[in-house]
Amino acid sequence: MNEFARDRADEPTADWHYGQRDILAAVRGERCEHASEPPLVRWRSDHGDLNRCADMRPALDAEFEERHFSWEPYLHDELGSIVGETLGRGLVEASAIRPVGFGYVGTPR
């Protein structure tokens, strides 16, 4: 299972994500919504009702015995094919952004 943990984003991660989204929108001639808000405020507004890892992990662990867990780049999926996983992984490895996705493999209890 690959999942998105919105609570993992920090200011540099949100800043990079929205910078990429705003550039892509500008290239397409689209308007950038909420571009004047600070990136982390914008992130929380856009993702506030989505998954939190702190909520998902206990639920998964109650039903499954964990075999694998890893933090993974995820934001490239939201940005489309222009921004690839290789760039996201490189930025995570350089500690420029935080991984906000996770991979989980478990067997039923």
Could you tell me which residues come within 8 angstroms of residue 8 by beta carbon, excluding any fewer than 6 positions away? 53, 71, 98, 99, 100
pLDDT at residue 33, as a whole number: 67
pTM: 0.76
Q: Which residue has the higher pLDDT, 22 or 82?
A: 22
pLDDT at residue 74, as a whole number: 81
Alpha-carbon span 77 to 21, nearest angstrom: 12
* Range 69-93 average pLDDT: 79
Mean pLDDT score across all residues of the chain: 84
Q: Where are the beta strands (DSSP E) in the chain?
A: 2-4, 64-72, 101-108
> Tokens 């992990």 map to which residue?
57
Query: pLDDT by residue (tens digit) across 26-45?
Result: 888 887 766 678 888 888 88
In degrees, rounded to 5, the angle at the alpha carbon of residue 74 between the alpha carbons of residues 15 and 24 is: 50
pLDDT at residue 14, as a whole number: 92
Q: How confident is the model at residue 3 (pLDDT cuts 50, 70, 90)?
A: confident
Torsion of CA 35, 41, 46, 49, to 10 degrees: -170
